[in-house]
Amino acid sequence: MDLNSTTGMDRVIVEKRWIKKKYWKYIIGGGLLLAVILFFIFRDWTSTIRVEKEKITIAGVFRGLFNDYITNDGMAAPISTVFLDAYEGGKVEEILLEEGTMLHKGDVIIRLSNNDINLNILNSEAQLAEKSNFLREVRIRMEQEKHSLEREVLNARFDLIAKKRTYEQNKELYKDQLISRDEFLRSDEAYQLADKTQELVLLRQKQDSSFRSLQIEQISENLKNMQLNLSLVKQQQDYLSVKSPVDGQLGSLMVEIGQSIPRGFRIGQINILTSYKIEASVDEHYIDRIRTGLSAFIERPNDTLPLEIKKVYPEVRNGRFKIDLVFTGKLPENIRIGQSYFIKLKLGQAVEATQIPQGGFYQATGGQWIFVLDKSGQFAVKRNIRIGRKNPQYYEVLDGLAAGEQVIVSDYTIFGNNDKVELK
């Protein structure tokens, strides 16, 4: 066999590849880089927590009539209360009636003692007696002076008559020149003096009468004031017997035998039981919606008792304010002061609204957002919502949810700050 020919028949076969081997490392590196880029692009970056479905409460969003009311505890109280204060201070000597006693107006409840008032009465009586005696003496003396002055007036009058007669006689005698001129002038002067004297005595009588009347009037007025003062002091003594000013039931009595109490001290109170009211304390969240005239009711197994808000107190304490409600129909049977009642207070008319049940989520979110379940039911995500009114069962949803959706209404403490909840 020819060696050259044999060599000519053997041909080197070259392996043909689409991508050369040296390029594979670049391709693999590029693929990995692309995978990383796609991972970061399409990855769900929402912070997620996984919880067991049994540990949460899921509720459906629905649309229906929203009843605008709140529930509250109330306590029965008398329709009005009269406070019993001490008009006068003193020592408690006797307690005649006990708490819970039914009273009639004027019944004596307690008796006090006050030695100062007794001493004032004795002093006032002594001063009144002294003044009365003085007035009596003044009147006797004035009567004596009056009689004396009347005699003086009478003497002056008769003296004037006598002097006038003598003057007229001497005048005629002087005309006939039977007496001297000097004797005639003396009789004339005596007559003029008697006339002036009578005028002075009459003027004195008039002035004395006016002065006497004024003095007696002043003393009488003073005596009248002393009698009034005595009656007031005796009235103070009467106040030592503390009496009921109205018909009612004696409530709390805050005194003990032997206790010294000052004037104006709060002794106790009297409850007017012609009717009753319900006193309730309401959360300040409703302060702008509560007003007088709103209706309420108490539900009982076989009856419903209507009420109406009679008074709203303006003061807020510890986040609550007080209201008084009165019965507009019949009273509960066997009602007692201090008895508790469960009240439903209507704030408005029922309206069609989207609603969700109340739950612990509100404390964490303030009603601004909620976890809404996906249609698959496998996870829930945050969604902003707007909540309006609420009643003891439901929240009114103004925006953010639609009927038929499901939401998590239980406490959100276990969710932390995560934006997504996966259910397992």
Q: Is the pLDDT of residue 20 over 70?
A: no
Task: Give the pLDDT of residue 229.
Answer: 77
Q: Is the pLDDT of residue 5 over 50?
A: no
- Stated length of the chain: 424
Task: Give the pLDDT of residue 397.
Answer: 95
Q: State the chain's mean pLDDT as an integer.
A: 84
C-alpha distance across the termini of the chain, in Å:
83
The three-point CA angle 192-198-199 to 5° equals: 90
- Sign of dihedral through CA atoms 197, 200, 206, 208? negative
Average pLDDT estimate for 70-87: 90
Task: Give the pLDDT of residue 334.
Answer: 84
Provide the pLDDT confidence category of residue 358 given band limits of 50, 70 and 90: very high
Burial zone of 392 (CB within 10 Å; 0-12 exposed, 13-18 middle, 19+ buried): exposed
**Radius of gyration of the chain from its Cα atoms, rounded to whole angstroms:** 56
Provide the pLDDT confidence category of residue 252 given band limits of 50, 70 and 90: confident
Question: Could you tell me the residue ranges of all domains in the chain?
Answer: 48-66+352-423, 70-74+269-346, 116-239
Which stretches does DSSP call E strand in 301-350? Answer: 303-317, 320-327, 340-346
Tokens 């028949």, residue?
9
Q: Is the pLDDT of residue 8 over 50?
A: no
**Poorest-confidence range of 89-93, 103-107, 126-130, 194-198?**
126-130
d(CA 320, CA 341): 18
For residues 22 and 161, the model is more confident at: 161
Give residues with Cβ within 8 angstroms of 378, minimum separation 6.
422, 423
For residues 23 and 56, the model is more confident at: 56
Q: Is the pLDDT of residue 9 over 70?
A: no
Task: Give the pLDDT of residue 47.
Answer: 80
**Domain spanning 70-74+269-346: CATH superfamily:** Efflux pump adaptor protein, beta barrel domain (2.40.30.170)
Provide the pLDDT confidence category of residue 25 given band limits of 50, 70 and 90: low
Task: Give the pLDDT of residue 6.
Answer: 46
Q: Contact at 8 Å (CB) between 383 and 355?
A: no
Average pLDDT estimate for 336-365: 91
Task: Give the pLDDT of residue 7.
Answer: 47
**Dihedral, 299, 304, 306, 311 alpha carbons, nearest 10:** -20
Task: Give the pLDDT of residue 22.
Answer: 59
User: For 257-311, what is each residue's pLDDT tens digit?
Assistant: 999 989 889 998 999 988 899 999 999 988 888 999 999 999 887 888 999 999 9
Average pLDDT estimate for 41-52: 70
Average pLDDT estimate for 366-383: 92
Task: Give the pLDDT of residue 324.
Answer: 95
Task: Give the pLDDT of residue 40.
Answer: 55
pTM for this predicted structure:
0.55
Task: Give the pLDDT of residue 107.
Answer: 92
3-class SS of residue 248: strand
For residues 9 and 328, the model is more confident at: 328
Report the 10 Å Cβ neighbour count for 62: 16
CATH code for residues 48-66+352-423: 2.40.420.20
User: For 194-227, what is each residue's pLDDT tens digit?
Assistant: 889 888 888 887 888 777 778 778 777 877 877 8
Task: Give the pLDDT of residue 394.
Answer: 93
For residues 87 and 66, the model is more confident at: 66
Task: Give the pLDDT of residue 232.
Answer: 77
Average pLDDT estimate for 374-397: 91
Provide the pLDDT confidence category of residue 151 given band limits of 50, 70 and 90: confident
Task: Give the pLDDT of residue 2.
Answer: 47
**Poorest-confidence range of 11-15, 153-157, 375-379?**
11-15
Per-residue b or e along 303-325, where b marks 16 or more CB atoms closer than 10 Å to that residue's CB: eebebbbeebeeeeeeeebebbb
Q: Is the pLDDT of residue 351 over 50?
A: yes
Could you give the percent of the chain with pLDDT greater than 90?
Answer: 31
Provide the pLDDT confidence category of residue 108 given band limits of 50, 70 and 90: very high
3-class SS of residue 189: helix
